[in-house]
């Protein structure tokens, strides 16, 4: 385990397959992130459930989203719900939109969460994204 990793830093990796999901989860675990800090997210709820069940990852739930966001998600479209889930982990509106478009292309997000909850327009400007996105 790498004890020098900053476990308060959120990292978002975009991958293509369940094999890559599991490899990324193992990398995050070697850095010191715990299972309840590692999340998967896809554009399809059933796919997210299956991947979470078959890997050492979790789904973004009410504890991470907050009660208000979780209730609001009942009435949101899939894209709006995905962006709200990402926003609750500190992902900016711009990056949430960009990542949601990647999930539209069947990409899978593997997120190591630093642990701070975000609400409203607040976001974490220090999130690490891989692959790096060039605007």
Q: Where do the structural domains in the chain lie, given as residue ranges?
A: 11-130
Alpha carbon 96 to its chain's center? 10
pLDDT tens series, the chain, 135 aa = 445 578 999 999 999 999 999 999 999 999 999 988 999 999 888 898 899 888 878 766 444 544 444 454 344 456 788 888 899 899 999 999 999 999 999 999 999 999 998 988 899 999 999 988 655
How many Cα neighbours within 13 Å face the side chain of 46? 0
pLDDT at res. 34: 93
Q: What is the pLDDT of residue 32?
A: 96
* Long-range contacts from 1-8, C-beta under 8 angstroms, 24+ separation: 1/30, 1/31, 1/32, 2/30, 2/31, 2/32, 3/32, 5/31, 5/32, 5/33, 6/114, 7/31, 7/32, 7/33, 7/37, 7/114, 7/115, 8/114, 8/115, 8/116
Residue from 71, 30, 124 nearest 38 by CA: 30
**What pLDDT does 16 receive?**
96
- The 10 Å Cβ neighbour count of residue 44 is 12
Distances from the Cα of 57 to the Cα of 29, 117, 120, angstroms: 10, 18, 26
């Amino acid at each position: 385990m790498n004890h020098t990793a900053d476990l308060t830093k959120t990292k978002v990796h975009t991958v293509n397959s369940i094999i890559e999901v599991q490899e990324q989860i193992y990398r995050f675990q070697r850095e010191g992130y715990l299972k309840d800090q590692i999340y998967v997210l896809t554009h399809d709820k059933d796919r997210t459930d299956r991947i979470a069940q078959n890997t050492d990852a979790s789904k973004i739930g009410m504890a991470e989203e907050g009660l208000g966001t979780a209730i609001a998600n009942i009435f949101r479209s899939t894209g709006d719900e995905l962006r709200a889930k990402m926003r609750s982990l500190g992902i900016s509106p711009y990056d949430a939109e960009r990542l949601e478009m990647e999930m539209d292309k069947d990409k899978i997000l593997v997120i190591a969460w630093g642990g701070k909850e975000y609400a409203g327009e607040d976001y974490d400007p220090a999130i690490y994204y891989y692959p790096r996105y060039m605007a």
